[in-house]
C-alpha cells in the first residue's frame, strides 16, 4: 500500500511537530502524506497549518514570517490566516482582496506537547492518553526523527512479540523466550487492543532504571493501536512501575515516516533520570530502525503476498482493518504494481 495514493489517510490526526520547536514568529515546515505544509502560531498562540504554497506565484510560505498572527509570503508579502484566507495584499487597497486568494487550510491543534494536524474531515479524534494529564505520571519526550520505512511496518513491529529475541539482543530480548506466554487480541472501531506477557532480560542500565536487582523479568504488556499509525505500549513491571510508550509513525511520503515518540512513567526524576530512560529506549529503537529500514515500504495488505506465523496476528488484523477502511470509503489498495 502506498499511503500517498490513499486519500483516506488525510482524514486522521498526526503529531507533526514538538510544540517547543514553534517559537513565536518562526514558521516551520513539514511534509505530510507527500504535501508540504507550513505551521506557525496565530495571534492567540495556537498552532495553525496551511499548504506551504502561496496561491499567487507558488512560493513556499515557510520562508516568510509571521505578522499579526498570519503567515506572510516571502515573495510579495501576501498574508494568510489560519483558515487560509488572504488577509492582506500590500499591493492592493483594503477591501479589494478577492475571496479566491486562498490557500488550503488544515485542522491543527496542540496535544501532549505536539502540534497535531489533520488534512481533511477527521474520521476520529486524537488518541486519548489519560496518563498524559495524570499528576502521577510524567511525560518524557523521546524521539523526533525520520525513518526510511512505512508506518505499518513500525506499527506491526510494536505488536510483534517474536522479534525481541533476535532484534533486541543488546537491550531486552531473551533467547529463552522466542514466543510470548500470552497473546490476547481485541478489535475496536479504530484500532486494536493487545495483551501479552513476555520473558525478557535486563541489562545493567535497565536494572537501574527499573530498580530491579535481577537480569530477568516478565513484561506484562497492554498495547493499543490507534489507526492508522499510533501505537501505545503500556508495560507493567512486578514492582509497580508503569512505563508507557506512545509512538506515531507520521507518514511523510510512501517510503518514509517521522517517528514521534514520548513516554509516560509513574515514577519521578529522583527515581530515574529522564536521560537514562531515553538512553535505554534509544538503544531499543535503534535496534528496530536497523531492521525496519530494510523492509519493503509498499506493505501488501493482501495477506497472501507475505508469509505469516502465529505471532503475526496483530499485523494481520491491522492489514484487514486497513482493507476494510479502504473499502468503506470506496478506495482500492494502491501498490507499485497496481
Ligand atoms: S508568491 Fe506569495 S505573494 Fe507572491
Ligand atoms: Fe522492537
How many angstroms does the Cα of residue 54 sit away from the middle of ligand 1?
6
Residue with the bigger pLDDT between 282 and 337: it is: 282
Cβ of residue 57 lying under 6 Å from some atom of ligand 1: yes
Cβ of residue 75 lying under 6 Å from some atom of ligand 1: yes
Could you tell me the pLDDT band of residue 180, with boundaries at 50, 70 and 90? confident
d(CA 304, CA 131): 39
**CATH architecture, domain 12-118:** 3-layer Sandwich (2.102)
Q: Where are the beta strands (DSSP E) in the chain?
A: 14-18, 28-32, 35-41, 47-51, 65-67, 70-72, 79-80, 86-88, 105-111, 114-118, 138-147, 182-188, 191-201, 216-226, 230-236, 242-251, 257-265
Q: Is it the case that residue 338 has pLDDT exceeding 80? A: no
Q: Are 77 and 70 in contact (CB under 8 A)?
A: no
Cβ of residue 61 lying under 6 Å from some atom of ligand 1: no
Q: What's the confidence (pLDDT) of residue 122?
A: 98
Q: What confidence tens digit (pLDDT) does each residue in 215-242 have?
A: 777 778 899 999 999 999 998 887 889 9
How many angstroms does the Cα of residue 61 sit away from the middle of ligand 1?
8
**Positions of CATH 3.90.380.10 in the chain:** 130-327
Cβ of residue 76 lying under 6 Å from some atom of ligand 1: yes
Q: What's the confidence (pLDDT) of residue 24?
A: 74
Could you tell me the pLDDT band of residue 178, with boundaries at 50, 70 and 90? confident
Report the topology of domain 130-327. Answer: Naphthalene 1,2-dioxygenase Alpha Subunit; Chain A, domain 1 (3.90.380)
Q: What's the confidence (pLDDT) of residue 8?
A: 98
Cβ of residue 56 lying under 6 Å from some atom of ligand 1: yes
Q: What's the confidence (pLDDT) of residue 175?
A: 81
Q: Is it the case that residue 333 has pLDDT exceeding 90? A: yes
What mean pLDDT is predicted for residues 119-130? 97
Q: What's the confidence (pLDDT) of residue 207?
A: 73
What mean pLDDT is predicted for residues 102-122? 98
Q: What's the confidence (pLDDT) of residue 146?
A: 98
d(CA 216, CA 198): 11
Q: Which residue has the cell 499510533?
A: 230
Average pLDDT, the chain: 94
* Mutational pocket test of ligand 1: of 38, 57, 79, 97, the residue with most ligand atoms within 8 Å of the beta carbon: 57
* Mutational pocket test of ligand 1: of 38, 65, 73, 102, the residue with most ligand atoms within 8 Å of the beta carbon: 73
What mean pLDDT is predicted for residues 245-249? 98
How many angstroms does the Cα of residue 38 sit away from the middle of ligand 1?
15
Strand, coil or helix: what is 323? helix
Amino acid at each position: 500500500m502506498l499511503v500517498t495514493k490513499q486519500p483516506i489517510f488525510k482524514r486522521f490526526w498526526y503529531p507533526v511537530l514538538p510544540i517547543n520547536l514553534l517559537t513565536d514568529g518562526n514558521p516551520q515546515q513539514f511534509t505530510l502524506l507527500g504535501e508540504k505544509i507550513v505551521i506557525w502560531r496565530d495571534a492567540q498562540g495556537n498552532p495553525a497549518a496551511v499548504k506551504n504554497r502561496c496561491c499567487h506565484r507558488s512560493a513556499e510560505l515557510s520562508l516568510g514570517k509571521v505578522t499579526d498572527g498570519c503567515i506572510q509570503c516571502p515573495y510579495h508579502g501576501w498574508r494568510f490566516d489560519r483558515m487560509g484566507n488572504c488577509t492582506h495584499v500590500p499591493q492592493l487597497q483594503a477591501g479589494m482582496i478577492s475571496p479566491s486568494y486562498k490557500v488550503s487550510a488544515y485542522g491543527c491543534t496542540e496535544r501532549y506537547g505536539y502540534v497535531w494536524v489533520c488534512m481533511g474531515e477527521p474520521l476520529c479524534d486524537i488518541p486519548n492518553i489519560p496518563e498524559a494529564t495524570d499528576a502521577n505520571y510524567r511525560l518524557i519526550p523521546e524521539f523526533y526523527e525520520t525513518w526510511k520505512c512505512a508506518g505499518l511496518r513500525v506499527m506491526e513491529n510494536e505488536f510483534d512479540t517474536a522479534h525481541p529475541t533476535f532484534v533486541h539482543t543488546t537491550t531486552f530480548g531473551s533467547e529463552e523466550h522466542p514466543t510470548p506466554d500470552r497473546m490476547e487480541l481485541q478489535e475496536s472501531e479504530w484500532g486494536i487492543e493487545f495483551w501479552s506477557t513476555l520473558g525478557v532480560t535486563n541489562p545493567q542500565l535497565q536494572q537501574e532504571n527499573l530498580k530491579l536487582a535481577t537480569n530477568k523479568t516478565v513484561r506484562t504488556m497492554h498495547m493499543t493501536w490507534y489507526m492508522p499509525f499510533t501505537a501505545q505500549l503500556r508495560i507493567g513491571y512486578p514492582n509497580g512501575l508503569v512505563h508507557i510508550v506512545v509512538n506515531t509513525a507520521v507518514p511523510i511520503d510512501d517510503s518514509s515516516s517521522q517517528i514521534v515518540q514520548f513516554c509516560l512513567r509513574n515514577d519521578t526524576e529522583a527515581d530515574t533520570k529522564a536521560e537514562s530512560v531515553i538512553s535505554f529506549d534509544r538503544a531499543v529503537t535503534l535496534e528496530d530502525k536497523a531492521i525496519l529500514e530494510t523492509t519493503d515500504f509498499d506493505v501488501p495488505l493482501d495477506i497472501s503476498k507475505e508469509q505469516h506465523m502465529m505471532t503475526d496476528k496483530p499485523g494481520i488484523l491491522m492489514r484487514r482493518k486497513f482493507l476494510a477502511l479502504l473499502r468503506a470509503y470506496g478506495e482500492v489498495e494502491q501498490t507499485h504494481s497496481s
